[in-house]
Amino acid sequence: MDRVLAWSLLIALAGGLVRGTTGFGAAMVMTPALTLLMDARTAVPVTLLLETFAAAPMLPAAWRESRARVIAPISIAAVLAVPAGGLLLAMASPLTLRRIIAATVVLFSLALLSGRRYKGAPRLGTSIGLGALSGTMLGATSIGAPPVILYLLSGPDPASVTRANLTLYVVVISAAGLAMLGVGGLLTAATVRQAALLAVPFAIGILLGSRLFARFSDQRFRQLTMLLMFAVALGVLLSS
């Protein structure tokens, strides 16, 4: 087996494991690692395709449990901001993008590990601002959820509602990102084939992660996930 393919399959498995365990984080694990094996202009759409694939089956339940008043303004602002990130993706050099992606993951992993949360009351202006930041990040790096994760985790909603809100948000912004990449010519048949190849280990990872999540505490696995994200991103950053 080709070495690049073998590593890509392992990265997809790890991303799926994280996704199944925590409900988020696959892009934070996969994108920085995949940029060591392929151009960021390939890694970003591949990751977005896999994230959409993972979240789609959860949509019916997420739709029932989500709070539209919370997630709608964030999602709308993010969708409108995605093209700005896409412009950065198209114009920046692969090395610069790799560093941006890795640095983004390092910073947000540290924030999550430290237990930092947004402390203010949910406000429309804050939601719109965070959505715009998230959409720009997603268009450029495929990693758009961290600001919204930090924001929603600070709210009063139960974990099931927060997870549902995040699931809907990931689907919306991933679809917007894929549409933007398609218009920009970055979503090619080769990219779709690459994502399809990685979908199998990714799905296996999600299944394993879901089973592990049922056996261990949520807090413990979130800590381990953040440590994994931090280690991967720091390694990519140092190698750049």
Cα 4 to the chain's mean position, in Å?
22
Calpha distance 162→167 (Å, rounded)? 9
DSSP conformational letter for 155: S
Inform me whether the pLDDT recorded for 183 exceeds 70.
yes
- What is the residue-wise DSSP string for 42-101? HHHHHHHHHHHHHHGGGHHHHHHH--HHHHHHHHHHHHHHHHHHHHHHHHS-HHHHHHHH
Inform me whether the pLDDT recorded for 219 exceeds 70.
no
Cα 154 to the chain's mean position, in Å?
19
Q: Where are the domains of the chain?
A: 3-239
Instruction: Determine if the pTM surpasses 0.85.
Output: no
User: DSSP 3-state assignment of 214?
Assistant: helix
Average pLDDT value for residue range 39-45: 88
Higher pLDDT, 30 or 210: 30
Which pLDDT score, from 0 to 100, does residue 118 have? 61
